[in-house]
Structure 1
């Protein structure tokens, strides 16, 4: 378990699929479980279909868009999970990114990428595209995005992963996120607290 020195952090996991019993969420729930092993971590699962989000060019001041931005702004890290559709990441996830504004709420945030696909190649193309978009808006994309090929083979109806190696790969993304928070976010918080104390604010 990664030692976060008792500092509290929240991680947002965004599910990029609205399909019933979708495998994207089943994979992402393993990350939720991994994060919750640490008592200093809280997790906020975001399902975009539960939000009223507008397309670019429409009114972007809706309450749901504001709430989405607030959740991402307050997070120490973000996981973006997506299926691969037509060689790229889901339109639903793109809509979320559009509603995070520009400058984006993702700017300066550590972002981990998780992709699933039913075919042999996996979600490589979708993760390449997603990494490019996230980097463009200023996110700090973690190395080692996780692509799961033939994902329908590895989860049962209850959402349990039936392959130990696949589960390890997914959980390892969670460990990389926590390591980044420990090494980069925690020192920044400590420095800000020290400056406030010295300034008397």
Structure 2
């Protein structure tokens, strides 16, 4: 069975993006093993000497490298991703660069009507940077608007149309991961990582 990593893209203790990933984990348990990772306790990015990441960042990087694909769920703060998510990606890009060629699916939930659409667009732009270079699933956008009302007491999405939409996107992502990893070949990422740095240009 496929192994995926879900990253909660916020440091909030009460996040509907965490609920969304937990629902995905439960709803698709027969299709993939999904481990959910928190980033809320990671230190703020501070350029390290020797490009060595703190232990907790290194542990996340290793989980990303071991996973077949990654799902990132982000809220929207001021039309952008949260600072903690940006900081985490800066750690990863400056140190081990585990997201290079890694298949990524983006989801998001927000309290407003748009459901993190602008934050998702921002995240796509970030993940396309040379030091991250993730393989982002194209033509997909799963948005949960008015997210405080979107889940029942058991953490399930209430809207059957939304569930059906998510099932279609997740099905596409499974195929995207399979095709991407077949094209790249096993351990391709680890073999071809180049330590791109703006400092060398």
TM-score between both structures, scaled by the size of structure 2: 0.80
Gaps of 5+ in 2: 189-201
Name 2:8's counterpart in structure 1: 15
Name 1:198's counterpart in structure 2: none
- Change beyond 3 A, Cα 1:31–1:172: farther
TM-superposition CA deviations, 1:78-136 (whole Å, max 9, x none) = 01101111111111211221121346211101100001111122211101100000111
SS of residue paired to 1:101: helix
SS of residue paired to 1:64: helix
1:63 and 2:55 correspond: yes
- The alpha carbon displacement at 1:23 in A equals 0.7
Match of 1:113 among 92, 106, 117: 106
Whole-angstrom CA distance in 1 between matches of 2:48 and 2:143? 33
- The alpha carbon displacement at 1:140 in A equals 0.8
1:149 and 2:141 correspond: no
TM-score between both structures, scaled by the size of structure 1: 0.80
- Change beyond 3 A, Cα 1:120–1:61: closer
Alignment of 1:1-201 (within 5 A): 8-38=1-31, 41-49=32-40, 51-58=41-48, 60-102=52-94, 104-136=97-129, 137-143=132-138, 144-186=140-182, 189=185
Cα RMSD over matched residues?
2.3
Whole-angstrom CA distance in 2 between matches of 1:42 and 1:121? 29
Greater Rg by CA: 1
Aligned residues: 182
Gaps of 5+ in 1: 1-7, 193-201
SS of residue paired to 2:64: helix
Whole-angstrom CA distance in 2 between matches of 1:188 and 1:63? 28
Whole-angstrom CA distance in 1 between matches of 2:43 and 2:173? 27
